[in-house]
Amino acid sequence: MMIPFLDSEVRAKAPQAIENLRKEGVWMVNTKLKSVSREGGEICFQFEHSYTSKFLRAVPRPSSLVTCLPTSDQRPVTSDTNYHE
């Protein structure tokens, strides 16, 4: 997972990606960065989010959070998709 961060633009965008997740109220400690990709002029960070609480221990529900940041002057997009493993 360290290889995408050899790209300087990925490194520059990463803090904003994390900030986008924080704006959704996400507990960052429960996220894992799964992939970084370049798609159509954007850098997209895909995180796996597994919220943990003692009430949810038996049924973990990971969700996929993708946040894309423009490499050009565009508004950022964040989407929330649920999936089950």
- 69: number of Cβ within 10 Å: 21
CA pair distance 42, 26, nearest whole angstrom:
22
57 binds other proteins (CB under 8 A): yes
User: Site map for other proteins, 23-42, x if CB under 8 A?
Assistant: xxxxx-xx------------
Nearer Cβ to other proteins (54/75): 54
Asked if residue 2 binds other proteins (CB under 8 A), the reply is yes
Q: Measured between alpha carbons, how far is 61 from 40 in angstroms, rounded to an integer? A: 30
The Cα 42–Cα 57 span in angstroms is 36
Tell me which residues touch other proteins (CB under 8 A).
1-2, 19, 22-27, 29-30, 51-55, 57
